[in-house]
Amino acid sequence: MYIHKKGYGVIATVFTVMALIVVVAIMLLNAFLENTHWTILAGLIIIGVIVVVWAVSFFRVPTNRKITHEENAVVSAADGEIVAIEEMEEKEYFHDKRIQVSVFMSAYDVHVNWFPMDGVVSYVKYHPGKKLFAINPKSSELNERNSLVVKDAKGREVLFRQVAGVMARRIVCNIKEGDKAEVGKEFGMIKFGSRVDFFLPCDADIQVEKGDKIVGQVSVLAYLK
């Protein structure tokens, strides 16, 4: 495991803010109280350590996973929980009915995103938007989001969408159309709470159920026909 480079600035900022809070607390306690209240200071330090550790863990990147390479498989691009499996009209790219499978990432999950299949990136589009809770079904169409489509060697396409949540402040994706996609290879991340939606052909063989815990790079969401 290592810490993602996108987290260095955030972690440094969190550490600095928490350190300043402790220093200011010491100054105020010394100024207005005869005896320093070590219990209060200990509490602040413990809270500060917890916040810093959480910030570090948020940007962790696992390195010991065995990436799933299976023919026709669509592998999860994110860690989290399956919160939706439903047939719906995909209005951005396909303009037809698709099976939407949504993976919700809590603030405690790994937030790196990986390609779910091999192929070529045939579509990339970023959309600014609202900050609804990512677990809200409407967030897929209304929130800040970034859509990508990968076409495999057989011409089959899958759209997957990074959706920012109420806590999210930035979607990271440095992929462009024409780039090569490799299953399990990182293509971006979403900072602080989010979801990834997958839009699969209606005849895809879905392998997950609502409520399932999913591991990115490992869990198979579906097999394409």
Under 8 Å between Cβ of 20 and 30: no
Under 8 Å between Cβ of 48 and 21: yes
Enter the tokens of residue 29: 């306690």
Q: How far is the first Cα of the chain from the last one, in angstroms, to the nearest whole number?
A: 35
Residue with tokens 């990182």: 186
- Catalytic, 122? Answer no
Enter the tokens of residue 125: 């589009």
Under 8 Å between Cβ of 41 and 22: yes
Under 8 Å between Cβ of 195 and 102: yes
Residues in a beta bridge with 150: 121, 158
Which of 76, 140, 194, 219 is catalytic? The answer is 194
CA distance 40 to 24: 12
Enter the tokens of residue 92: 């951005």
Each as own residue / partner, the long-range contacts of residues 95-98 (CB below 8 Å, 24 or more positions apart, any chain) are 97/202, 98/159, 98/199, 98/200, 98/201, 98/202
Contacts of residue 17, defined as CB under 8 A and 6 or more positions apart, other chains included, come to: none
Active site residues: 194
